[in-house]
Every structure is written in structure tokens, then in C-alpha cells.
A and B are shown apart, each in its own frame.
Chain A
Amino acid sequence: MEWSFSEDQDDYAEALGDWLDDKADVESVRSWFESRDVGGFEGELAEAWGGVGISETAGGQGGGIVELALTAEALGRHAAPSGRWLATALAVPALSGNEQVAGEFLLSSGLALAVDSSHRPAATVGAPEAQSPSVDADGRVTGTVPRVLAGGSATHLVVPAVKDGTLVLRLVEVEGSAVTVRPRKLLDRSREVADIAFREAPSAELAVDADAVIQRADELAAVLVSADALGSTERMLEMSVEYSLIRHQFGVPIGSFQAVKHAAASMKVDVEAARSVIYYAAAAVESGQSKSLLYSATTKAQVGAGAARAADSALTIHGAIGYTWEHDLHLFYKRARLDAVLLGGADEWNRTLADALELDG
């Protein structure tokens, strides 16, 4: 394989990084979090960059999962609100072939995939014991889905539902009394989830291969949440190194103590290992590799665990100041820890991987 970014990809990452430095500086991020109002930023983000990494047939501007991962990484680095962006990216393949509608959703980021975000998408959809919503003969959807990513702000939901025993995807408009939304507050305020109940909600058919869309959502979820964790972990590493050079104890910078240096070096190993495997998996998914699920499952399991580990090292290096609300570290700390479990934690993805490895022959 060729593990390197194209010039276009480098340029894109730089332009997006500059834009985020300007729009999502840490003071702004904190003020959105304090007021729990992230909608304004998410709207601007979607308008400016929503089409990047989405194919033209799905209403985007082209590019693929590598560009999406670069976006996720940059958002994670800035602790910028991104639940709506991610939810739209996961759901929009369901509208493929419907460029115009899809394109509008990309610009508004008002679309979400109605799956339980504490698991990987395919885990709760279509399995026989799953309590998937059902669709009646008139196309009305009934059922509940807990913890839908960006469920509290989406205007439309792509709902995996069972119709006559098969998995289908239906588009449901949230407005109206047939859909009840119960937003939940997460420690990490850059993203939110909501429990959603459908009571005979009118829906439109989405004529796509439902299984393929859910599988795509699985791979996207694994790679993009991992890339988000990479961004926030790298930022925590930088904060830790900077702090270790200015904080003095015993008459010297704490960064000269080997325990501190080695903790930082181990974070660096986690960061570069994560970067290596995330873009490796992204390239595998993009090229339609038959083993791409192995690589994306690996990525989510390995990167999530590494990010949670690195977050704790960053906290240790900062001492008590890092433990305060006032210091910015917790924005990234909480983000990395949510990333470690969002859309499936290491154990769940490792189970997926073990199944895919066909250990029992």
C-alpha cells in the first residue's frame, strides 16, 4: 500500500484546520458548551464543509472516507461540536441516488441514522432478537430506538425497520406528534444523543440495499470515531508537553523528569499507531477490500482503548489543574473517553473481529 496523503488531501486538512482555528477557538467552544447550544456552529460547519468526503451521487462534493477521517480528526483536535456532522455522514449513504435531497441534508446536517449509539450500528439492526421498529402496510413506523446520535436536533431520521420480516430503511420526518424525542445529556457536550419513540409515524421508502448501508455505517462509524479520538488525543499530548515545559517543581521543569517524559513518549506511540491504522483502514474501506471490516473493527477497538489510556496520562501530567472545570483539558479528556465507547467499545468491536476471523472454523 501507499501510506501517504495526496496534495489535495494535505491542502484540505490545512484549510479546514485554519477554518476551525478561527471559528472553533477554545473560548467559543467553551461558551457553546456552557449554554449547551452547539447548533449555530454545527450549521456553519455543514454549510462550509458538509459535502466533503461524500460522493456526488449522494449529493456531496466527492472525495471519500479519507477526507471524512481528516475532517473528524480536525474536529476532535478542536473539541468542536460534531454530533450532527457525524450523524449525517453515517445516514446519507441511505439517500444515495437521490442527490438533490441528500445534498440539502448535507448542507443542513439535519439527518441522523436511528440506531443505538452505544453499539456498533450492525449490532442492533436486523438481528432476530433486536427490537427494531416495524413498518405497517401503510408505511407507518412504530417502535423505539434509544440513544440516537444527534437525535435531538435531526429534522429527519433514516430508520432501519422491519417490514414483513426483512430489514428496510425508511425516512421519517421528526416534526409532529408521531415522533417523541427525549434528549439525553452527555458529559462530553460536543455531541448529544436522544431516545426516540415512533408511534405510527408516516415514512417514505428508501430504495437502497439496507444491509449495505448498515455495513457502510459500521465502517464509517469505526473509522470516523477513531479519527476523532486521534485528534483529541494528539491535542492532549501537545497540551501535556507544553505544560511540562512551563510547570516547575524541585527547581526544574516537570518535563525533565523521566517518568513524565516516558508517559508523553507512550502517548506519542498511541497517537502515531492510531494515525497509521486509521488511514490504513480508511484506504481499505475506500478500495472496497473484502477484509475492510476486519480493519475497521480493529481500528475502533485499538484506537479507542489507546485514546482512553492517553487521556489519563495527560491528566496525570497536568496534576490538579487538569482536574478542574476551569482548565481546558477536560474538554478533550471527555471527548476521547466518549469516543472510546461511542458506536461500540473495544470489547464489542473485538467480538465482531473474532467472529470475522472465523476462529471456530
Chain B
Amino acid sequence: MEFSESPEVADFRTEVRAWMAENLPKLSWPEPPELEAKLPFWRTYQRMLFEAGYAGLSWSPEFGGQGIDERRASVFTEEAQSAGAPERLNTIGEDFAGPTIAHFGTQEQKDAHLRRILAGEDIWCQLFSEPESGSDLASLRTKAVKVDGGYRITGQKIWTSRAQLASFAILLARTGGGERHKGITYFLLPMDAEGVTVRPLAHMLGEAEFNEVFLDEVFLPDSAVVGDVDGGWKVAMGTLGFERVAIATGRVNTGQEIETLMSQIREARGPDSAALASDPRVRSAVADLYGRVVVHGAISQRVITGAADGQPPGEVTSIGKLYFCPLVDDMTDFALSLQSLDGQYDLDDEFAGIEEPDHDAFGGDPATTDTPSRHWLRLANQGRGTAIAGGSTFIQRNIVSERILGMPRK
């Protein structure tokens, strides 16, 4: 157990902090809140990272990465988040499609895709789930029929995050060599291929975050297969493993969020005009949330230390998500509960979250960026989605009990 950072890591932190301070102001702030408007903003940022040598930190230099250890990569993430860097739009490309291609792909696939992911040229999406195949992914029905030189793919995918922005997808389809997981093949699909239709689906707050994707006799050449034909399940499990590490160490920087919450509470007053921070129930709730954030941070450090020492993602990774999701729910709900109607304004309410109306004039400009309450509302919603995506909470508990504790499957 060594609490303090090694000098190399500390130096790297200083370097990244300086880079962020110098370069983030060059972006054309504010960052737009809607997904599509965010794309050019993010792309400029990703390009800057790539040119400065900060893209693909833990990827091999062979693919345009920096080949540094997971610990420094995680320091970079921390510093980027605390400097307020733009949202990472290509998590699927960088965190799991890319590593999957690097691990299981052919040389040709690596050459074609990896560098472009890091340079911010291609956003990726994940075409796994189907209307009838969610938790039970191995039951998927999308068919890949062998034709001359490749496959014709037909079926429907659903809940595909960011398909409306993506130029490539990782895709699972049934090649039929066996039942269930024995007959599935893993493909790389250009989203502009003929026969691909993307239809946005709005999430609970009304924003199009994910999509339905229809595949109608889409042709893919043999060279689009990753791993073996009918051997796609193994590759898919690799992808889900990379996804779990990313989720366990936290998509949401809970440390940053609790600091934001505390600074809001320090300023806030209750309906009786008394400082909120002197209310014992508020104090106790904040202390409890802060404590859980510290625990989450400790779990992440354990995952990162393990990864940096080259251990496979083990027990702590699986439990990370189970610890993290309810924490985000509870933190955001508590933040919203401090002004109980704040969590109830629709996203298109122009005045939501601005300070109390000025009684003389009801003046003030409509909000153009996310106000504090909108920030918590989005995060509250996102937390709920994360708990379902990538294996629901119940499925995670199945995994922990069966694979870690050795309890029976049936």
C-alpha cells in the first residue's frame, strides 16, 4: 500500500495539468449540451489530444498510441475531468471496440481503424442488442448469410448508443454454425454501407441518445470478420470485459461531482433562509455520499493498480459497477431534492435552474448552457441508463454470485 504517487506519475500529472490549462481555453466554449452539436466540438478536442500525444495512452505505439501504463492513463483521465475537458463521445471506439480490434483483429483491420479512432476521425457504435435479445445476448437473431466473397446481413438492432454519429460499428450476427453462442460471428461494419438504416430513439428525457438500426441485406466482405467465423462469442466477451473495466473505474467522476455538490450546498439556503449547510440531515446525507465517493475512489485505485500490474480484470471490476450505479443515483437524487421542483422542469423549459425569478421584472436570459439542476437531472438519468446498459444490475449480481462465489447457475 503506497498512498503517495511515484515521482514519475506525479510529474506526468503536472504535465497534463499544465497542458489542459493551456489548451482547453482554445476550444470554442461553451460545450453544447446536445449530442449532435457536440460532435464538432469534441472532434477538435480529440484532434488536439492526438497531436499532443495524449490519445490512446495505454494503446501500443504501433497503433498510434503512447504505450504507457494504466496508472498514468488513469491520471490523465482524472486531470482531464477535473480541468473540465469535453465529454468523450467515442468511448465505444476508444475503450472497447479499439482494444478488441487490437487484441483479436487482423493486421489489416488494425491498420484500417485504430489510428483513425485516436485521431477522432471515426466514432464507433456497438450493434449487439436486439429487440428480443437484451440480457440474453446469445439468443440474437440477426442473420449473416454466406455469399461470394462475404456475407449478407439482415436483422434489427436496438438501443445503439450514438449510431447517429458513428461511421463504424462492431456487430454480432448469426452465421449458424451452432446453437446460441456457438453460431455467432463478430463483424466490423461501415455505417454508410448500403442497407443500413438508423432511426433515433429518444430516451426518457426526450433526447435521442440511442437508436434502432435496421440491416437489410447489407454486404460485408470476409475481411470484416473479427476472430473466427462462429467464434464471435469469445471476441464479444473480450469486448464486454473491456467495457466493464471502463465502467468500474467510473464513467462519472464522482469525486468531482461531490465537490460540485458541496460547493452548491455551501451557498444554498433553505425555505426558512437558514444556511442549508447547518441542517443536520443535509450534513449527514452529504457525509454519507462523500464517504461512498471515497470508497468508489478506493475501488477504482484497486482496479487500476491491478490493471497496471497486468492482472486480468478480476473481482473488483465486477463489483465496481454494482457499487457505482446506486451511488450516482443517490447523489443526483439528493442534489435534486434540495430544491424539489428543480428535478421536474423539462429540458426545454428555458428558465429551469436559473436563480429565483427577479420579482420586479422576471428578467434574465434564457439558459444556454446546462444549469446546475439540469446537470443533476441529466446525470440522474444517465445513471439509470448505465445501470441497465452493459448488463443490468441483476445480471451483474448473477455474474458475481456464479463466477466469483461459485453458486449454481440453475
Are A and B associated in one complex?
yes
Chain A residues in the interface with B (C-beta under 8 A)? 1-6, 9, 66, 237, 241, 244-245, 252-253, 255-256, 258, 260-262, 264-266, 268-269, 272-273, 276-277, 279-284, 286-287, 289, 294-295, 297-298, 301-302, 346-347, 350-351, 353-354, 357, 359-361
Binding site secondary structure of chain B: helix
Q: Residue of A at shortest CB range from B71? A: A2
B287 & A276 in contact (Cβ 8 Å cutoff): no
B301 & A256 in contact (Cβ 8 Å cutoff): no
The 3 closest A-B pairs by CB, nearest first: A280-B298, A261-B401, A283-B1
Residues 386-410 of B, flagged 1 when their CB comes within 8 A of A and 0 if not, give: 0000000010111011101111111
- A262 CB contact (under 8 Å) in B291, B301, B401: B401
Q: Assess A301 versus B1: contact at CB under 8 Å? Given A256-B408, A261-B397, A268-B319.
A: no
- A351 CB contact (under 8 Å) in B262, B287, B315, B405: B287
B257, chain A: closest CB distance, angstroms: 14
Residue among A66, A298, A351 having the largest count of chain B Cβ atoms under 10 Å: A298
Q: Assess A1 versus B5: contact at CB under 8 Å? Given A265-B322, A268-B319.
A: yes
Interchain Cβ contacts within 8 Å, total number:
166
- A3 CB contact (under 8 Å) in B278, B298, B319, B397: B298
Residues 1-18 of B, flagged 1 when their CB comes within 8 A of A and 0 if not, give: 111110000000000000
State in angstroms the CA–CA spacing of A353 and B290 once bound together. 9
Given contacts A4-B1, A261-B405, A357-B262, 10 further A-B contacts (CB under 8 A): A1-B4, A3-B1, A262-B397, A262-B401, A265-B396, A268-B404, A269-B323, A269-B400, A298-B291, A351-B284
**Does B292 reach chain A (CB closer than 8 Å)?**
yes
Residues of B within 8 A of A5 (CB): 1
A255 & B294 in contact (Cβ 8 Å cutoff): no
**Does B199 reach chain A (CB closer than 8 Å)?**
no
- A359 CB contact (under 8 Å) in B286, B298, B304, B322: B286
B294 & A295 in contact (Cβ 8 Å cutoff): yes
Residues of A within 8 A of B405 (CB): 237, 241, 261, 264-265, 268
B266 & A241 in contact (Cβ 8 Å cutoff): no
13 A–B pairs (Cβ distance < 8 Å), ordered by A: A1-B1, A1-B3, A4-B305, A245-B408, A261-B397, A262-B398, A264-B407, A277-B299, A280-B301, A298-B294, A301-B288, A359-B283, A360-B266
State in angstroms the CA–CA spacing of A241 and B404 once bound together. 11
Query: Considering the complex, which residues of chain B in the window 352-410 have a beta carbon less than 8 Å from any beta carbon of chain A?
Result: 394, 396-398, 400-402, 404-410
A268 & B262 in contact (Cβ 8 Å cutoff): no
Q: Assess A301 versus B291: contact at CB under 8 Å? Given A265-B397, A276-B302, A359-B283.
A: yes
B407 & A276 in contact (Cβ 8 Å cutoff): no
Residues of B within 8 A of A262 (CB): 394, 397-398, 401
Chain B interface residue number, banded: 35 or more
**Does B275 reach chain A (CB closer than 8 Å)?**
yes
Binding site secondary structure of chain A: helix
Residues 255-289 of B, flagged 1 when their CB comes within 8 A of A and 0 if not, give: 00000001001100000000101100011101110
Q: Residue of B at shortest CB range from A303? A: B295
B315 & A283 in contact (Cβ 8 Å cutoff): no
**Does B309 reach chain A (CB closer than 8 Å)?**
yes
Q: Assess A273 versus B299: contact at CB under 8 Å? Given A351-B287, A359-B277.
A: yes
Q: Assess A354 versus B302: contact at CB under 8 Å? Given A264-B405, A289-B3, A294-B294.
A: no
**Does B201 reach chain A (CB closer than 8 Å)?**
no
A261 & B266 in contact (Cβ 8 Å cutoff): no
**Does B316 reach chain A (CB closer than 8 Å)?**
yes
Q: Residue of B at shortest CB range from A287? A: B3
A272 & B316 in contact (Cβ 8 Å cutoff): yes
Residues of B within 8 A of A351 (CB): 283-284, 287
Residues of A within 8 A of B282 (CB): 359
B295 & A276 in contact (Cβ 8 Å cutoff): yes
A359 & B408 in contact (Cβ 8 Å cutoff): no
A1 & B301 in contact (Cβ 8 Å cutoff): yes
B400 & A268 in contact (Cβ 8 Å cutoff): yes
